[in-house]
Structure 1
Amino acid sequence: MADKLNVKTVHEFLNKIWEDVFTLNSDLREELSPIGFKVEDVEEVFGAYLFIDNEWKLMKYPHPAFEIKPQIEVGATPESYYFVVAVPRERITENFIGLFLEVFPRSFIYGSEDFLNDVYNWRRDGRISPRKILERMSQSPERVFQFEANFESAKALKQGIKRLIDIGRTFEIFEL
């Protein structure tokens, strides 16, 4: 197996994403605690999925992630740096969806129970209207939806988290 892939490249890539997530965790702990968010320790997360070849594929290996309580997960996978924010159905509006997708164009929206059945997927859906996404949500039995955004770097992710917090406060999605 090692003959077919560059082990050094894989090793350096994995070390980089883990180091980036640990650094981001430390930075955010200092910055977010004073404004009411609790940044948890970095953990090994198993059972995540990546959208590859137009379908969700199980990662049987761990990736680094941590929680920003009350409702945000932050991490990195081979695909991207990401955050996921859990939003109760009753706090989701068409305007929130529209602004979220405008600010975070590389996004997925899916239920917290049936997360493989997404209601929005930037790779598949392109630019559909927030109203159409809200209609899809209304047809789902889900009570909480996950809004995920993907980023090319830890630096962009950090900026995205700050923007998410601003948007979340505007639309009162956080249970602070």
Structure 2
Amino acid sequence: MKVREVHDFLNRLWEDVFALNEELREELPEGFEVEDVEEVFGAYIFLDGEWRLMKYPHPAFEIKPQIEVGATPESYYLVVAVPRERISENFLGTFLEVFPRSFIYGSENFLNDVYNWRRDGRLSPTEVLERIKGSNEKVFQFEANFGSAKALKQGVKRLIDLGKRFGIFDL
């Protein structure tokens, strides 16, 4: 491991998230409020086929209502919380199509995902919806991963459009 490479990589993640935060403050539609960037502790990352605890902080911020945006060593990401009763098969299918690198998990038992793009890529929206219906969770986290801050920014805008179309937001 080269310490300089780790240092530069982490600095780039933080710089990218701070820059994205400022850009989204100016560009998001009315009803969406961009909060400050924070250090997030106790998150999990999917590595080597399992969810692993990150004992180190990563940069993230909230977009109210219901969205978190950030970066981990694995990817740039967004997460939107969706109450079970607002999850339709159409929303689910569109989300998986627009965001192929995604995870879906409950807000209480988040280590038991109902959809994992690295494992379940061939599941249909109907099959994923059956898993959701079979769960005791009341709120599900829809996470999408991206290779760059630029792609994440576009993903946030697409998510807001989808969310408005399918009525998932508390606006």
**TM-score for the superposition, normalised by structure 2:** 0.99
Q: Which residue of 2 aligns with 1:103?
A: 98
1:68-113, CA deviations, whole angstroms, 9 ceiling, x for partnerless residues? 0010000000000000000000000011010000000000000001
Q: Which residue of 1 aligns with 2:20?
A: 24
- Among 55, 63, 70, which residue is 1:68 paired with? 63
Separation in structure 1 between the aligned mates of residue 4 and residue 16 of structure 2, nearest angstrom: 18
Q: Which residue of 2 aligns with 1:156?
A: 151
| 1:116 partnered with 2:103 | no
Q: Number of aligned pairs?
A: 171
- 2:111 aligns to what SS in structure 1? coil
CA deviation after TM superposition for structure 1 residue 126, in Å: 1.1
- Among 62, 70, 73, which residue is 1:78 paired with? 73
Separation in structure 2 between the aligned mates of residue 72 and residue 132 of structure 1, nearest angstrom: 25
**Which is helix-richer, 1 or 2?**
1
CA deviation after TM superposition for structure 1 residue 30, in Å: 1.0
Residue identity opposite 2:80 in structure 1: V
- 2:119 aligns to what SS in structure 1? helix
Separation in structure 2 between the aligned mates of residue 167 and residue 98 of structure 1, nearest angstrom: 11
1:38-82, CA deviations, whole angstroms, 9 ceiling, x for partnerless residues? 100000000111111110000000000000001000000000000
| 1:131 partnered with 2:126 | yes
- 2:60 aligns to what SS in structure 1? strand
Residue identity opposite 2:17 in structure 1: V
CA deviation after TM superposition for structure 1 residue 127, in Å: 2.1
| 1:52 partnered with 2:69 | no
CA deviation after TM superposition for structure 1 residue 31, in Å: 1.1
Q: Which residue of 2 aligns with 1:8?
A: 4
- 1:123 aligns to what SS in structure 2? coil
- Could you list the runs of 4 or more consecutive aligned residues of structure 1 that deviate by over 6 angstroms after TM superposition? none
Give the unaligned 5+ runs of structure 2: none
Q: CA RMSD in A?
A: 0.6
Residue identity opposite 1:62 in structure 2: P
Residue identity opposite 2:57 in structure 1: P
Give the unaligned 5+ runs of structure 1: none
- 1:149 aligns to what SS in structure 2? strand
Aligned-pair identity in percent equals 78
- 1:56 aligns to what SS in structure 2? strand
